Chain A
Amino acid sequence: DIQMTQSPSSLSASVGDRVTITCRASQNINNYVNWYQQKPGKAPKLLIFAASTLQSGVPSRFSGSGFGTDFTLTINSLPPEDFATYYCQQSYMTPYTFGQGTKVEIK
């Protein structure tokens, strides 16, 4: 299986900060990466697919980049509603696998 490793596991940020989360795949996966946001007690919500394509309805403060094995999710000007846990997921091959998550907390 392809391992997805996120860093950091958690981070503290302030409203208005720019936040960057990284995800590393255990092998080349081209740009077959999706990013999800999850709030407590809720299902994951798709933010970005194909590493950099914003899902319809997702605010433009979210952006994704990367190719091969290294990927990043960036949130510009963090608003209060974006304090949540973020997961990367590879769709290069089944079984699809997820990173362990990055929890973004209020500083």
Chain B
Amino acid sequence: QVQLQESGPGLVKPSETLSLTCAVSGGSISSDYWWSWVRQFPGEGLEWIGEFFHTGTPNYNPSLKSRVTVSVDRAKNQFSLNLTSVTAADTAVYYCARGRYKDFFHYMDVWGKGTTVTVSS
């Protein structure tokens, strides 16, 4: 059974880069799934950040596109999120998730436990 685990610093200073990693266990990151990042703000709203397929170009939320990069490390079976020039508005719980398609319908069926990131000096 596939499991996802986020890791990274819990505190990032304003204007710096937020870097998180999602380790995939119980399955290969090169299988036919989409790998996503989703964040949840303190007020509990959820925001989709972006996703990628291991052989394709990532899709990013246009609201973050200028600041976000998702990359994959196949050797380590993990993927990463980099978010540049962070502000307090980027304070959130960050989740990685597995996305899949069934008959053209996309959904996220496996989620990591989430990691809290606070942006503060």
B residues near A89, Cβ cutoff 8 Å: 46
Bound CA–CA A13/B112 (angstroms) = 30
Give the number of residues in A that approach B within 8 Å (Cβ atoms): 23
Known contacts A45-B111, A94-B59, A100-B45; 17 additional CB pairs below 8 A are: A32-B106, A34-B108, A43-B95, A44-B38, A46-B108, A87-B46, A91-B105, A91-B106, A91-B107, A94-B61, A95-B61, A95-B62, A97-B48, A98-B46, A98-B47, A101-B44, A101-B45
A residues near B74, Cβ cutoff 8 Å: none
A residues near B103, Cβ cutoff 8 Å: 50
Q: Are A43 and B106 in contact (CB under 8 A)?
A: no
A49 within 8 A of B: yes
Q: In the complex, how many angstroms separate the beta carbon of B66 from the nearest chain A beta carbon?
A: 14
Bound CA–CA A28/B23 (angstroms) = 36
Given contacts A95-B61, A97-B48, A101-B44, whether A43 and B113 have CB atoms under 8 Å apart is: yes
Bound CA–CA A34/B109 (angstroms) = 10
Question: How many inter-chain contacts with C-beta < 8 Å in the A-B complex?
Answer: 57
Chain A contact residues, CB within 8 Å of chain B: 1, 32, 34, 42-46, 49-50, 53, 55, 85, 87, 89, 91, 94-98, 100-101
B63 within 8 A of A: yes
B residues near A42, Cβ cutoff 8 Å: 113
